[in-house]
């Protein structure tokens, strides 16, 4: 039995250790430089103050021009290439852009409009067309599917950005600085094995990463078992060491004994990030459609966009973007300024609010499962299941503001909702499988643990030290595997 442990560990390691070494190197890079994205904060900060004509079109006309048969899931009014434009999103995903001055559908984005959108994003900077792509190494995210094809524009600012402009709406939907692009060659692009998605096997990318991670996890477990079997705890070998090996083999053995358990948790949690075999997907997801109370329709919004802008300005908010929401059957317009600060304009009493009354959101949430009891609590501080990360991190684009309402439902999956009191948005939906993912991926892979996150030098030291331990095991394994292959090839030639 021992012989098979050694053989399985050896031959799995010859294949997996190289990938593990790449994962640890790229993982350290990702601690500080994430995959390019355009966060909401960056989006709002780059918008001009919203300006409308004296007689802007009505919301009813916007909805009819976009799709007279289907209600949108969201409506925004923003500035695109220097002109106000409505952006409507539909399930699918699908986006429709309507010109705010004419009420007509916007044409597909062309080169001239893409350059104008880039100048709005980076005013006073020279811009250059870099062609149109359906996807490239910096635009792999599925969140961009409704915006494809993407028009790329390079800016001549200090960051040397590469901007991606939506072919549907004309908005800048992603920016990748030269620093991000440079580090991501050995960062997220390498960590997620994105090179495999550029050689015509996109459909096989997920299974390849999943089974490679599974093989690496098995190899690490077998390696720890072999390491324990070969380690003399009470006495030493003739060489005076508790390990029988020399050179790289000893480094590999000792490194495995010191960091093997954490190595296993990191590789295993990386496997969990792929949601293998849909184990974190709920079989009975809770529908939250009733939270709106009614589809987005023009009758719920008697005030025009221009009137909403004026109300927000009177309250001290220079809105750069407006968003229409239905909550509990009532209409609200949310205004955002350049710093992401918000105001709420209630359509029923036409009052401007800083936050929603918790009872308003509680009643709207109750409509989701009115026949079942629910528990509601207001969080004033982050906890294990609701917390913020740095903008460059994988989940850094999420707006995790405080205070927030947590609503717990008595449904089969014990679903929790997090409701943002500043916008009324559902900013998180956690059921039992997703909470399991929080433990098996969020905690074990990124060490998203508040005592560490709140003490960043401690978190950095923890992540770098143990990444170095994993890299020691992986690199020494690569050397040993290379030597073993060399001996096997020479023996075959003889």
Task: Please indicate, yes or no, if residue 326 is contained in any of the structural domains.
Answer: no
Task: Please indicate, yes or no, if residue 113 is contained in any of the structural domains.
Answer: no
Structure tokens at 111: 């080169």
Task: Please indicate, yes or no, if residue 62 is contained in any of the structural domains.
Answer: no
- Kindly list the strands in the beta sheet with 150-155, ordered across the sheet, starting from the edge strand earlier in the chain: 127-133, 150-155, 162-166, 172-176
- Kindly list the strands in the beta sheet with 404-409, ordered across the sheet, starting from the edge strand earlier in the chain: 374-379, 404-409, 416-420, 426-430
Digit-by-digit pLDDT tens for the chain (494 residues) are 677 777 778 778 888 888 899 999 999 999 999 999 999 999 999 999 999 977 678 999 999 999 988 999 999 999 999 999 999 999 888 999 999 989 999 999 999 999 999 999 999 999 999 999 998 989 988 899 999 999 999 999 999 999 999 999 999 999 999 999 999 999 998 899 888 876 667 778 888 899 999 999 999 998 999 889 888 888 888 888 899 988 888 899 999 999 999 999 999 999 999 999 999 988 788 888 899 999 999 999 999 999 999 999 999 999 999 999 999 999 999 999 999 999 999 999 999 999 999 999 999 999 998 888 899 999 999 999 999 998 888 877 888 999 999 999 998 889 999 999 999 999 999 999 999 999 999 999 999 999 999 888 999 999 999 999 999 999 998 888 888 777 767 777 76
What was the pLDDT predicted at 205? 85
How many distinct structural domains can be found in the chain?
A: 1
Task: Please indicate, yes or no, if residue 12 is contained in any of the structural domains.
Answer: yes
Structure tokens at 444: 């074990």
CB contact set of 389 (below 8 Å; sequence gap of 6+) = 395, 396, 398, 448, 453
**DSSP 8-state assignment for residue 412:** T
Task: Please indicate, yes or no, if residue 474 is contained in any of the structural domains.
Answer: yes
- Angle at which helix 247-272 crosses helix 2-30, to 10 degrees, equals 70
What was the pLDDT predicted at 154? 97
**Domain extent at residue 246:** 2-33+195-279+458-493
Max distance between CA atoms of the chain, in angstroms, equals: 92
Place of tokens 């994962």: 23
Place of tokens 């026949």: 371
List the Cα angle 250/252/256 in 5-degree steps.
115
Task: Please indicate, yes or no, if residue 318 is contained in any of the structural domains.
Answer: no
CB contact set of 173 (below 8 Å; sequence gap of 6+) = 38, 144, 147, 150, 164, 165, 166
Task: Please indicate, yes or no, if residue 255 is contained in any of the structural domains.
Answer: yes
Length in residues, the chain:
494
Task: Please indicate, yes or no, if residue 20 is contained in any of the structural domains.
Answer: yes
């Amino acid at each position: 039995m021992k012989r098979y442990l050694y053989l399985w560990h050896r031959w799995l390691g010859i294949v997996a250790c190289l990938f593990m070494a790449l994962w640890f190197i790229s993982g350290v890079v990702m601690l500080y430089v994430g995959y390019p994205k355009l966060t909401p904060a960056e989006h709002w900060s780059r918008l001009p103050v919203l300006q409308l004509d004296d007689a802007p079109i009505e919301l009813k006309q916007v909805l009819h021009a976009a799709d007279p048969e289907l209600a949108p899931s969201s409506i925004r009014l923003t500035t695109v290439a220097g002109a106000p434009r409505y952006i409507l999103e539909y399930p699918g995903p699908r986006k429709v852009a309507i010109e705010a001055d004419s009420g007509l559908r916007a044409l597909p984005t062309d080169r001239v409009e893409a350059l104008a959108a880039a100048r709005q994003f980076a005013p006073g900077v020279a811009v250059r067309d870099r062609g149109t792509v359906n996807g490239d190494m910096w635009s792999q995210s599925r969140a961009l599917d409704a915006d494809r094809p993407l028009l790329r524009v390079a800016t001549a600012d200090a960051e040397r950005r590469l901007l991606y402009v939506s072919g549907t709406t004309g908005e800048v939907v992603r920016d990748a600085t030269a620093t991000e692009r440079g580090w991501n060659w050995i960062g997220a692009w390498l960590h997620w094995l994105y090179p495999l998605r550029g050689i015509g096997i996109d459909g096989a990318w997920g299974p390849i990463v999943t089974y490679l991670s599974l093989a690496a996890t098995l190899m690490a477990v077998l390696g720890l078992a072999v390491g324990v079997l070969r380690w003399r705890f009470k006495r030493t070998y003739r060489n005076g060491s508790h390990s029988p090996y020399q050179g790289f083999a000893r480094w590999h053995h000792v490194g495995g004994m010191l960091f093997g358990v954490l190595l296993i948790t990191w590789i295993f949690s990386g496997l969990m990030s792929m949601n293998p075999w849909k184990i974190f997907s709920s079989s009975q997801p809770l529908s939250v459609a009733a939270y709106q109370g009614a589809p987005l329709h023009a009758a719920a919004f008697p005030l025009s966009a221009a009137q909403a802008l004026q109300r927000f300005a009177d309250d001290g908010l220079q809105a750069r973007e407006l968003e229409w929401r239905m909550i509990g059957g009532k209409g609200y317009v949310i205004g955002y300024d350049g710093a992401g600060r918000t105001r709420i304009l209630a359509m029923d009493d036409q009052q401007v609010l800083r936050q929603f009354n918790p009872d308003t959101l509680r009643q709207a949430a109750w409509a989701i499962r009115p026949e079942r009891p629910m528990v509601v609590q207001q969080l004033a501080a982050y906890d294990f299941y609701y917390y913020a990360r740095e903008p460059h991190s994988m989940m850094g684009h999420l707006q995790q503001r405080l205070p927030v309402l947590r609503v717990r439902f008595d449904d089969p999956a014990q679903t929790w909702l997090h409701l943002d009191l500043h916008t009324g948005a559902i900013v998180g939906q956690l059921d039992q499988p997703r909470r399991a993912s929080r433990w098996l991926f969020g905690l074990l892979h990124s060490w998203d643990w508040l005592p560490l996150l709140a003490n960043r030098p401690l978190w950095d030291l923890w992540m770098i030290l143990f990444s170095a331990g994993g890299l020691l095991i992986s690199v020494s394994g690569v050397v040993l595997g290379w030597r073993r292959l060399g001996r096997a090839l020479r023996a075959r030639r003889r």
